[in-house]
Amino acid sequence: MSEIPTRPGSHLLLVADEARGVRLKSDLEFIGYAVTHILLDDSGLLSAPRPEIEDIQTAIIDFEGDWATLSQIVQDVRAEFGQRSRSLLIFTDERVALELDFSAGVTDFIVRPYSLREVEARLRLALWNEDRPDDATTVKVDNLVINTTRYEVRVDGNPINLTLKEYELLKHLVTHRGRVFTRAELLDNIWGYDYYGGMRTVDVHIRRLRSKLGTVGTRITTLRGVGYRFDHPG
């Protein structure tokens, strides 16, 4: 498992009762993860109100009970947080593990008692699977990945916070890499022909993109008197 990198600062959602959640949250934080804990009551209901969470990497459910109740918890977590977390890991006992239905939205499981070594390996695998490019929905150029369905940009696996216009401008340049666009063309393509702003709008957004993308931003080349292009690798 050593070839699968652990991402610093990864954010996990933990759904568990207080007794199990306190210990597991402590263990997860010990191996370097940020954890938000949502409590389960005795009947398997999520506590309310729940915190607003935007950057979940993986959801974890630790529940002692039958599969019928656990499957409902899985559905509730998927319904509320499924768009922000593709991976869902279950901590359970051997009896319930034999009943797990992966079509319900479970991506992996760990049988108690667990070891931190196994937990860390499973989480690294889950995070790696989540970051693997899907050819139908992603554009990948070396260490830059653009997810076109989630409007998400990552560099070296780290999310880059872009405005919608910055995202659209970057996607347009990257998907037509090597081609030079004039400022007027970019204004028409990204802002629309009826946009009344000046050409400086493009320059400002290019400057912000370069700053946010770091070394990847140097691929956005200026051709003086003409416009901009995103260079091919190498």
pLDDT for the residue 136: 65
The CA angle 203-204-206, to the nearest 5 degrees, is 65
Count of other CB atoms within 10 angstroms of residue 190: 22
pTM: 0.53
Which conformational region is residue 9 in: left (phi greater than 0), alpha (psi within -120 to 50 degrees), or beta? left
- Tell me if 229 sits within 8 A of 179, measured CB to CB: yes
Distances (CA, A) of 158 to 67, 74, 228: 35, 27, 25
Taken in order of first residue, the domains within the chain and their CATH numbers are 11-131 (3.40.50.2300), 138-230 (1.10.10.10)
pLDDT for the residue 4: 40
pLDDT for the residue 2: 38
CA distance linking residue 28 with residue 164, whole number of Å: 34
Blockwise average pLDDT, block size 10, the chain, 234 residues: 44 89 92 89 73 74 88 85 71 87 80 90 77 67 83 83 90 93 90 70 93 93 92 76
Please state the separation of Cα 201 from the chain's center in Å: 29
